[in-house]
A and B are shown apart, each in its own frame.
Chain A
Amino acid sequence: MRTSELIGCEVVDSDGVRVGRVHDIRLEARPPLGASGDPAYRVQGLVLGPVGLAQRLGYGRHDMKGPWPLTVMLRALSRRSYLVPWSDVGELGGKQLNLLRRKTDLVPVRDAQDDGRDSSEADG
């Protein structure tokens, strides 16, 4: 599948409550699959929520320094986005993605930060 098939999808939780849209896909390096020795980058989770602007501009995850009014506004917006682990993602039906959790159980993306941004190279 292509990532463009996931991004932009409407997302609905296990109760049928609308959560927002998929804005981004988080990948993480996992042990290699084949003989190549290259780590496999696999989907860790989906970043979704009502407004994607902040994610788009780069204010969701990285430490954007500023400028000041934009950081305040855009970080506030990105607080309304969630990171849903792949294990909680259910069926993709048409342009709608179903989650296996309730909206109230979702983890906001800023609380789910882990500092995967180390400068060490990701070779096995």
Chain B
Amino acid sequence: MLTLGVMTAIGGFVDIGNLVTSGVTGARFDVSLAWAVALGTIGMVVYGEMAGRVTAVAQRPVFHVVRERLGVRFGLLNLVAACALSALALTAEIGGVALSLELASDVSYLLWVPLVALGVWGVTWRMKFQYMERIFGLMGLALLVFVVALFFLPTDWGALLSSATHPSVPASESYPTYFFYAVSLVGACIVPYQVVFFSAGGLEEGWTVDSLAEMRLNVLVGFPLGGILTLAIMACSAVVLMPLQVNVSHLGEVGLPAAVAFGKAGLAFALVGFFAATFAAAAETALSTGYSMGQYFGWSWGKWLRPTEAPRFHVVVLGTLLLGTAFVLTTIDPIKVTIVSVVLGAAAIPLTYLPILVTANDRDYLGEHVNGWFANALGVLVLLMMLVVSLVAVPLLLWTKAGQ
């Protein structure tokens, strides 16, 4: 029942973007950027609940709403941006899965890539949606090792708490870099493909007006879980890697604290978690391009339909997978792709959010379930936050050269 929320959290929220940015920021900024994770989580909860409500009550998924509200031209712009970003994210995720396997096996990640692509395709082509949710949701919970590790590491809880509640820029870092990483963290939490997946997933699960409680449970359990996991990884990084002044540039370094706390077992859990999160994210990003295009153009879409019943949808998913795989095989650094995709995603977020916010106020669509004053107040505050993030994202990316 909760599996959609947990899987969206594991594959959407906690994907290679979160893993890397939380590891990097923990090592460089202690936990003084925890507020960015909190903001991102709140934003995602508000956004996810509204999108989920529109899906369950009006039976309209995200890209139906985008095209209906923004029209053909802006809708198409939105679609192109969403698909391009998903493809970029997919590249990063495939890289992430391959890197996790490299860490476990000492075989170069590039050799794993074709196998990973095949695996992801197999899951998106034939595996039932519910199985996919359950398997990866459960496996991803292995990331809880980071939460547990905090209790076994020499964690100074007082210092952590004070750093989180009194954020400050460390002497060795500059303000632009600090805010660049703040933007990256928010962008890593609120990714467009995640909402598309959550909403489409809701229809895959057959949500109706009666499913509102279930939908909200998914949102309130899934996304905060993602936030907690992100914070745990950040805190572990701060406790273990910051004193050693490790410059996190590899996925292995993010997993190091689990190894320090629990040895090989800890590392194993971390790797299983990394694998599940990145694999789920690869499936989600690939599926979300299919969902977005299918919903924009009016095709049949959905994993509940066999390939012959939704041919264009499945071909788009396959095509995106091939594109992402090819891109990874150019040996581009998956970590760099991750950072860029997260920041560009942050810049594009208001595009898909605004139509949802507007539709959530439309009585013809939602009847009595339209936004109340509280939902609207939150909705507008989140919109403002997204607009600010969107405006500064690209300038900061260029100014700090991606956080150098």
Given contacts A63-B363, A66-B371, contact A58 B358 (CB under 8 A): yes
Cα distance, A12 to B388, chains bound together (Å):
39
- Tell me which of B362, B377, B380, B383 contacts A62 (CB under 8 A): B362
Chain A nearest CB from B361 CB (Å) reads: 5
Number of B positions contacting A (CB below 8 A): 18
Q: Is the CB of A70 within 8 A of B370?
A: no
Which residues, 335 to 375 on B, are CB-close (under 8 Å) to A?
Answer: 355, 357-358, 361-364, 370-371, 373
Residue numbers in B under 8 Å from A58 (CB-CB): 69, 358, 362
Residue numbers in A under 8 Å from B158 (CB-CB): none
Given contacts A56-B69, A57-B69, contact A64 B361 (CB under 8 A): yes
Which residues, 54 to 86 on A, are CB-close (under 8 Å) to B?
Answer: 56-58, 62-70
Which partner residue on chain B sits nearest A65 by CB separation? B361
Cα distance, A62 to B389, chains bound together (Å):
31
Cα distance, A58 to B380, chains bound together (Å):
17
Cα distance, A69 to B377, chains bound together (Å):
10
Residue numbers in A under 8 Å from B355 (CB-CB): 57
Residue numbers in B under 8 Å from A67 (CB-CB): 357, 361, 371, 376-377, 379-380, 383
Which partner residue on chain B sits nearest A63 by CB separation? B363
- Tell me which of A63, A68, A69, A70 contacts B358 (CB under 8 A): A70
Residue numbers in B under 8 Å from A65 (CB-CB): 361-363, 370-371, 376
Which partner residue on chain A sits nearest B354 by CB separation? A57
- Tell me which of B71, B362, B363, B380 contacts A68 (CB under 8 A): B380
Which partner residue on chain A sits nearest B378 by CB separation? A67
Most buried by B among A62, A67, A68: A67
Which residues, 314 to 350 on B, are CB-close (under 8 Å) to A?
Answer: none
Cα distance, A66 to B357, chains bound together (Å):
9
Residue numbers in B under 8 Å from A57 (CB-CB): 69-70, 355, 358
Q: Is the CB of A56 within 8 A of B371?
A: no
Chain B nearest CB from A49 CB (Å) reads: 16
Cα distance, A66 to B361, chains bound together (Å):
6
Which partner residue on chain A sits nearest B72 by CB separation? A4
Contact pattern, B 41-71, Cβ under 8 Å of A = 1, otherwise 0: 0000000000000000000000000000111
Cα distance, A2 to B361, chains bound together (Å):
31
Which of under 10, 10 to 19, 20 to 34, or 35 or more describes the interface residues of A? Answer: 10 to 19
Chain A nearest CB from B387 CB (Å) reads: 12
Which partner residue on chain A sits nearest B357 by CB separation? A67
Which partner residue on chain A sits nearest B71 by CB separation? A56
- Tell me which of A56, A63, A68 contacts B376 (CB under 8 A): A68
Which partner residue on chain A sits nearest B69 by CB separation? A57
Residue numbers in A under 8 Å from B357 (CB-CB): 67, 70
Chain A nearest CB from B363 CB (Å) reads: 7
Chain A nearest CB from B46 CB (Å) reads: 12
Residue numbers in B under 8 Å from A70 (CB-CB): 357-358, 380
Most buried by A among B69, B362, B370, B383: B362
Residue numbers in B under 8 Å from A64 (CB-CB): 358, 361-362
Contact pattern, B 66-96, Cβ under 8 Å of A = 1, otherwise 0: 0001110000000000000000000000000
Chain A nearest CB from B367 CB (Å) reads: 12
Chain A nearest CB from B68 CB (Å) reads: 9
Q: Is the CB of B380 within 8 A of A69?
A: yes
Cα distance, A70 to B358, chains bound together (Å):
9
Most buried by B among A56, A63, A66, A70: A66
Chain A nearest CB from B348 CB (Å) reads: 19
Chain A nearest CB from B1 CB (Å) reads: 31
Cα distance, A63 to B370, chains bound together (Å):
12
Cα distance, A62 to B68, chains bound together (Å):
15
Q: Is the CB of A56 within 8 A of B70?
A: yes
Cα distance, A120 to B253, chains bound together (Å):
65
Most buried by A among B361, B362, B373: B361
Residue numbers in A under 8 Å from B363 (CB-CB): 62-63, 65
Across the A-B interface, give the 8 residue pairs with the lowest CB-CB distance, nearest first: A67-B376, A65-B361, A66-B376, A67-B380, A66-B361, A57-B358, A67-B379, A56-B71
* Interface positions of B (Cβ within 8 A of A): 69-71, 355, 357-358, 361-364, 370-371, 373, 376-377, 379-380, 383
CB pairs A–B below 8 angstroms (8 shown): A56-B71, A57-B358, A58-B69, A62-B363, A67-B361, A67-B376, A67-B380, A68-B380
What 5 additional pairs, Cβ within 8 angstroms, besides A56-B69, A67-B371, A68-B376?
A58-B362, A62-B362, A63-B363, A64-B362, A69-B380
